[in-house]
Amino acid sequence: MNQGETRWAGVLAIVGAGVVASLQVGKVIIAAPLLRQDMGLDLASIGTLTAVFSILGVIGGIAAGGVIARFGARRMLLLGLAATALGTAAGATAPGYGVLLASRVVEGLGFLMITVAGPAALQRMVSASNRDFAFALWSCYMPAGMAVAMLASQAFDHWQAYWWCAGAAVAVALACVAALAPATPGSASLSWRGLRQDTADTLGAAGPVLLALSFTLYSLMFFALFTFLPVLLMEKLGLTLAQAGLYSAIASAANIIGNLGAGMLLARGWRRSTLIACASVTMGVVALLIFRSVLPAMPTFLLCVLFSAVGGLIPATLLGTAPMVAPRPGLTAASVGLVMQGSNLGQVIGPVTVGGVIDRYGWASASYVVLAAGLGGLIIAACLRRVRAARL
C-alpha cells in the first residue's frame, strides 16, 4: 500500500469512528417506541435521553480542542471511542431510567472527543486542495450513523440487545483507527492559562462564533425532526416500527447527498454563506408542511427526504470553513471545537424543546420552532458574508 492509499485508509477509519459515534445518537431515536413501552417514558423523556448525550459538548468544545491540540488527535480519538464503548455497556445493563441517563453522559464524553478530534486529525492528514472534500466526507458521519441505526433496528426486539451491538461497532472502529490512522503529534504542554487564552482568542473571533451559531440552528432543526421522525411516521402515517425505521433511514441517508454536494459546490466556487442561507430557509419552510401534515403520507415522507438532503449542505460547509476563520493556525482545533459546541447545543435544545412542545400543543406547533431556526440561519449567513474569509 503506497503512502496515498495509506492516508485515505486513515481518513476512512476516522470517518468510520464518526459514524459509530453518531450510531449512539440514532439508537435512542429508533428505539424510542421500545423504551416507551419498557420504561413508560413520554416524548420529553426520550428527548432528554437524546439531548443529555450532547451536554458535555455544549460546555466543553473549545476545551476539548485545546486538549486535542496538545496531546494529539489520534490519541484523543482512541480515548473517545473507549469512553463511548464504556457508556454503551453501562446503558445496556441499566436497571432504570436514571442509570440509562447517566450512561448517556459517558457516551456523550466519547462523542465530544471523537467529533472534535476527527476533523483535527483530517486537517493534518490531507492537503489543502483535498480539504473541502475530506471535510464533506467527514460531515457524512451523522446521517450515515443514524441511517445505520435505523436500519439495524429491524433486527432487534429489545433495546438492550441494540445497545450491545452498537458497543461492538465501537470496538471495531477503535481497532481500525489504531491500525490505520497515522499518529498526530501534540504541541506544547497543557496549562490552564493556555486553555483560557485559547478560549478567549477563539471566542473573540467573529468567524468561529458565527459558524457555531449556524451549526446550533442547523442541529436544532435536524434533530427537531429526526428525534421524533419514527414516532411521527407511526402516529401520523400509520407505519409499523420496522417500516418507520426503514423510511427514517432513507430520509437520514439523504443528508449524505447534501454533505457531498456541498463539497462539489464549494470546489466550483459557490459562496459558503449562500449555501447556508438557501439550506436554512428551505429547511424551515419544508418543516411547516411536514409537522402540520398538510399533505398525504407519501408526499410528507418525500418532504422529509428533501429536508434532510438540503440540510446536508450546512454541516459540510461549516466544518470546511472553520480552519479558514481560526484566529491563528494553532487554534484550528479550538475553532472546530467551538463549531462542534454549537452543534451539540442544537442537539440539546432541539429534542427537549420540540418534545415538550409536541406533548403540550401537538405536532403542528413544532413547525414554528423549526421555521424560526431557519430564519435565524438566514440572518447568520448574511453576517458570515461580511466576515473576511475565503469565498464566504
- pLDDT digits over 136-170, tens only? 888 888 888 888 887 876 677 788 888 999 999 99
User: How would you write 63-132 as a 3-class SS string?
Assistant: HHHHHHHHHCHHHHHHHHHHHHHHHHHHHHCCCCHHHHHHHHHHHHHHHHHHHHHHHHHHHHHCCHHHHH
Per-residue pLDDT of 90-124, as tens digits, reads 999 988 888 999 999 999 889 888 988 888 888 77
Q: Which residues are CB-contacts of 4 (< 8 A; sequence separation ≥ 6)?
A: none
Would you call 226 exposed, middle or buried from its count of C-beta atoms within 10 A (0-12, 13-18, 19+)? buried
Identify which of 251, 300, 10, 79 has the alpha carbon closest to the alpha carbon of residue 149. Answer: 251
Q: Which residue has the higher pLDDT, 260 or 7?
A: 260
Query: How much is the pLDDT for 1?
Result: 44
Inform me whether the pLDDT recorded for 51 exceeds 80.
no
Look up the pTM and report it: 0.80
User: Per-residue confidence at 3, pLDDT binned at 50, 70, 90?
Assistant: very low
Higher pLDDT, 156 or 266: 266
Alpha-carbon Rg for the chain in angstroms: 19
Residue 53: pLDDT over 90:
no
Spell out the CATH class of 3-385. mainly alpha
Give the start-to-end residue ranges of the domains of the chain.
3-385
Average pLDDT over residues 84-89: 94
pLDDT at 260: 92
| C-alpha to C-alpha distance for 93 and 330, rounded to whole angstroms | 42
Residue type, 33: P
Say yes or no to pLDDT of 319 above 90: no
Q: How many Cα neighbours within 13 Å face the side chain of 210?
A: 26
Q: For residue 304, what is its C-alpha cell?
A: 422529509
Q: Which region, left, alpha or beta, applies to residue 295 given φ > 0 means left and ψ of -120 to 50 means alpha?
A: beta
- Nearest Cα neighbor of 115 from 336, 348, 346, 349 is 336
